Amino acid sequence: MKIKVAEEVKKALAEGKAVVALESTIISHGMPYPQNVETALRVEEEVRKNGAVPATIAIIDGVPTVGCNREEIEKLGKAGLTVTKVSRRDIPIVIAKGLNGATTVASTMILAEKAGVKIFATGGIGGVHRGAEKTMDISADLDELSKTNVTVVCAGAKSILDLNLTMEYLETKGVAVIGYGTDELPAFFTRESGIKVGYRMDTPKEIAESMKAKEDMGLEGGMLVTNPIPEEYSMDAKVIGEAIDKAVKEAEEKGVKGKDITPFLLDKIQKITGGDSLASNIQLVLNNARLASQIAVELSKLG
């Protein structure tokens, strides 16, 4: 099975130009229609504005696709939660059955690497879930970061997670965690968590040079760039904390687990906050696409 790479993306890669991968779970599972499609297209436009070529990744009718067109994005957005959420384990099944699949951080990294795309912008990564000492619920995103050669730009780990354990797990797996203009791990909806990152870097060029050094050394695995949500869109920590606690409690009462937990919690939090969390989510994704594009441009200059 070959990966379908959009002509624009293929041409940019062949010419050594900047390309930024984008996930598709945010389209099908992260937001309601039509905001999901509108946001996906705005994110692609943000990538272009900053000098790079966007490559939205998904599985379309069983075909791994790097660089979805507008029709394919619309298809995923309208289908919403009925689209299969695809992590590493799901890729062969969705391909074999000819299904549509929305890629998570882990599967987007895999397909991006196979196509030759080195940097990927998302909202927030998965991580160690609250209560993982009992449930062992740990996102496949973290293992993928330890072995797949793609740099991920995010607004930190989603604040519905156990952020301390997430950072410990990343450290154990040998993943470099970089704070862009910050010494702290951003907490998705808020800029601060009180948890230190491994390294602080203040320019896209610094990050690109680190990526190049890692590649030149032949070191396996990705790097994680954590980019705080813009100040004006950051939510009140107390408000979002109470909303998360309420949503987590409801998930426990309803027995929501596994791959269903994150979309369930994000939907509940959006409703509890009267849509404020959705507005913040959109802005942080745009902000991450902007930074990823700037890093990709700097990386392309290094050859």
Q: What is the pLDDT of residues 174-185, one digit of tens each?
A: 999 999 999 999
Is the bond preceding residue 54 a cis peptide, omega within 30 degrees? Answer: no
Q: Considering only CA atoms, which of 255, 114, 227 is closest in space to residue 264?
A: 255
Host domain of residue 86: 4-302
Q: Specify the number of domains making up the chain.
A: 1
pLDDT of 277 strictly over 80: no
Q: What is the pLDDT of residue 7?
A: 98
Asked if 104 and 86 touch (Cβ cutoff 8 Å), the reply is yes
Does pLDDT of 8 surpass 80? yes
How high is the pLDDT of residue 275?
66
Rounded to a whole number of angstroms, the CA Rg of the chain reads: 18
Mean pLDDT of 218-235: 95
pLDDT > 90: what percent of the chain? 72
What is the torsional sign of CA 10, 113, 87, 2?
A: positive
Question: What gap in Å lies between CA 84 and CA 86, rounded to an integer?
Answer: 6
Copy the structure tokens of residue 151.
């740099």
Determine whether 101 is exposed, middle or buried from the number of CB atoms within 10 Å of its CB (0-12, 13-18, 19+): buried
The pLDDT-based confidence of 1 (bands split at 50, 70, 90) is: low
CATH number of the domain within which 26 lies: 3.40.1790.10
Pairing label, strands 223-226, 151-154? parallel
Given a cut of 70, whether residue 49 has pLDDT beyond it is yes
Q: Is the dihedral of CA 9, 11, 16, 17 positive or negative?
A: negative
Query: Global pTM?
Result: 0.91
pLDDT of residue 173: 96
Active site residues: 23, 158
